[in-house]
Amino acid sequence: MSAAPSFKIPESVLVVIHTPDLRVLLIERADHPGYWQSVTGSLDRPDEPLAETARREVLEETGFDIEALGGELRDWNLANVYEIYPQWRHRYAPGVTRNTEHVFGLQLPAALTPTLAPREHLSWLWLPWHEAADRCFSPSNAEAVLQLPRFGAIATP
């Protein structure tokens, strides 16, 4: 007997990685060149804590170990509910069309060089927050980046 298909959970995190001077890291999707985004990813299991998902996705997509780098991950307590793009709906259970995305900010001490997973991302760049927002393909990602000045940089010692 074959195993049931494993579908993505329609709950995810979006992590806006930034520096104290509000430069934002964007990464380019391998499956859609020209689509720039922040780190995103779905929960691995329904009971996975959101902050754990955020730390895991940052490590998987950029190679950044938040604690080792002295980064500070903050839950912005924002959630976006959006229609899943049709080209990605096959990843979810039949009938699932909406995803809830929880927004986090991650301040790093400086604009560091990520180590990308080549199957997921092609390239990376650091941009001032307003330019990064313009580059994001996803409206919810662009809106999250535009919120960066509101949530502000975290004072560094």
Those residues whose C-beta lies under 8 Å from the C-beta of residue 130, and which sit 6 or more positions away, are 146
pLDDT 10s digits, 91-129 = 999 999 999 999 999 999 999 999 998 899 999 999 999
Q: How many residues in total does the chain contain?
A: 157
Task: Name the pLDDT band for 4 (thresholds 50, 70, 90).
Answer: low
Task: Name the pLDDT band for 52 (thresholds 50, 70, 90).
Answer: very high
pLDDT at 130 over 70: yes
- Please state, for a pLDDT cut of 70, what percent of the chain lies above it: 93
Task: Name the pLDDT band for 88 (thresholds 50, 70, 90).
Answer: confident
Superfamily for domain range 11-151: Nucleoside Triphosphate Pyrophosphohydrolase (3.90.79.10)
Given its phi and psi angles, is residue 152 left (phi above 0), alpha (psi -120 to 50 degrees) or beta? Answer: left
What pLDDT does 12 receive?
Answer: 97
Look up the pTM and report it.
0.92
What pLDDT does 90 receive?
Answer: 94
Q: How far apart are CA 122 and CA 50, in angstroms?
A: 26
Q: Hey, which residues does 125 pair with through a beta bridge?
A: 26
- Please state, for a pLDDT cut of 90, what percent of the chain lies above it: 85
